[in-house]
Amino acid sequence: MLGIALLAGPGVATAQPTAPYYERSFVLAADARCDLFRPDVAAALSAATQQARSAALRAGTSEAEVRAAAARALSRARTVACADPQLATVRQRVEHAFAGWARMPRMEFPGVRASWIANRVPAAGASWTLTQASVTGASPVTLGYTAGEVSDRLTAVVSFVGRPRPYAARIVMRDPRRSPRAWLGGANALPPASVRRGFWAVSFANADTALLKSGKQSGEAWRFPAEAALALEQLDPREAFAVEFLFRDDSVASATFEAGDFAAGRAFLSLGPLRGLAA
C-alpha cells in the first residue's frame, strides 16, 4: 500500500509540515525509476517539491527533519513496483494537479520579505526570466537570470546614482561548512564574515537597456559562476544573502536579497519558454 494522500495543488496546508515535501519527493523519486511523467509535468512537480521544502522550513521544521523526510521518500520509492496500480493512480493525480503549470507564462514565488518572479514568455531581445529586486542606497539592483545569455549564470544589474563603476562584485552568503545551521538573525541580517563564502563575478559589461529598471538610462551587468546558483539553492529560504560591489576607494555597496524559493523558480523555468506567446 502506498498510503499517500498527496498532491492537492501547491500551497495546500497539512497537519505535518513535511508531509507535502515527503509526498512530492516520493513521486519525483518514483518518476526517476519508472519514467512516469512527461518532462513538463516532471519539471512542474520539481518546482512544487522545492516550494514544499521551503514551506516546511518556514513552518519551523529543522533542516535535519527536512532531509530525513527526503531520505524516507527515496527509500520508499525504491520499494514500490513500477507496475503497482496505486502508483498509476498517483500518476493520474499528479498529472491532473500539475499539467496546468506547463501553460503558465509567469509565476511569483513569494518569500517572507521578497519574491522571485519567473517569466517564460519569449522576448525578441534581452529580458529577465527570473528576478528579485533590491537596492543599495538609492541605486536599484536586480538579480536573476536573463534570456539569451549563459543560462546557468546569475546576473546582477545595477544602476548607480552618483558613483563611479565598481571594479568588482561578489555574491556573499552563509557557508554551510563553517555554519551548518541556517542564519536567521533578523530581517536582511547576513551571517558574520567568519562564516560567509563569496562568489566573484566572472564578467561585466554595460547592461542592455531592456534589463534596466524603469526610468534608468544605463547600468552594469555582472555575471557570476554557476556555483553561486547551486550554493544559493542550499540555503534556508528565510536566509539573507547579498550582492556586494567594491570600489577603488575601499568602499563597498551592498544589496540584500532573500534566498526564498529560488530553487522552485529555477525548476519552473526548466519547463522552457512558452510557445505561442511573445513579450
- pLDDT tens over the chain, length 279 residues: 454 544 444 444 445 889 999 999 999 999 999 999 988 899 889 999 999 999 999 998 998 999 999 999 999 999 999 999 989 998 988 888 887 887 899 999 999 899 999 999 988 888 999 999 999 999 999 999 998 654 578 999 999 987 788 999 999 999 999 999 999 877 778 999 999 999 999 999 999 999 999 989 999 999 999 999 999 999 999 999 999 999 999 999 999 999 999 999 998 998 888 876 555
pLDDT at 276: 62
pLDDT of residue 100: 80
pLDDT score for 14: 47
The amino acid that residue 107 corresponds to is: M
Give the C-alpha separation, 263 to 46, whole Å: 9
Q: What is the pLDDT of residue 241?
A: 97
Half-sphere exposure of 132 (CA within 13 A, CB side): 25
The amino acid at 196? R
Sequence-distant (≥ 6) Cβ neighbours of residue 145 within 8 angstroms? 128, 129, 130, 131, 151, 153, 154, 155, 266, 269
What amino acid occupies position 216? K
Which residues, other chains included, contact 244 with Cβ-Cβ below 8 Å and sequence gap of 6+?
A: 169, 170, 171, 172, 198, 252, 253, 254, 255
The rounded distance, in Å, linking the Cα atoms of 126 and 140 is 18
Length of the chain: 279
What does the CA dihedral 141, 144, 149, 150 come to, rounded to 10 degrees?
A: 120
Cβ atoms of 30 and 77 within 8 Å: the answer is: yes
The pLDDT of residue 277 is 58
Task: Give the pLDDT confidence score for residue 15 in this predicted structure.
Answer: 56
Give the separation between CA 73 and CA 19, rounded to whole angstroms: 10
- What pLDDT, on the 0 to 100 scale, is given for residue 278? 56
Report the largest interatomic distance among the alpha carbons of the chain, rounded to a whole angstrom.
67
Q: Among 230, 232, 233, 212, which residue's Cα sits nearest to residue 221?
A: 212
Q: 279, 146 in Cβ contact below 8 A?
A: no
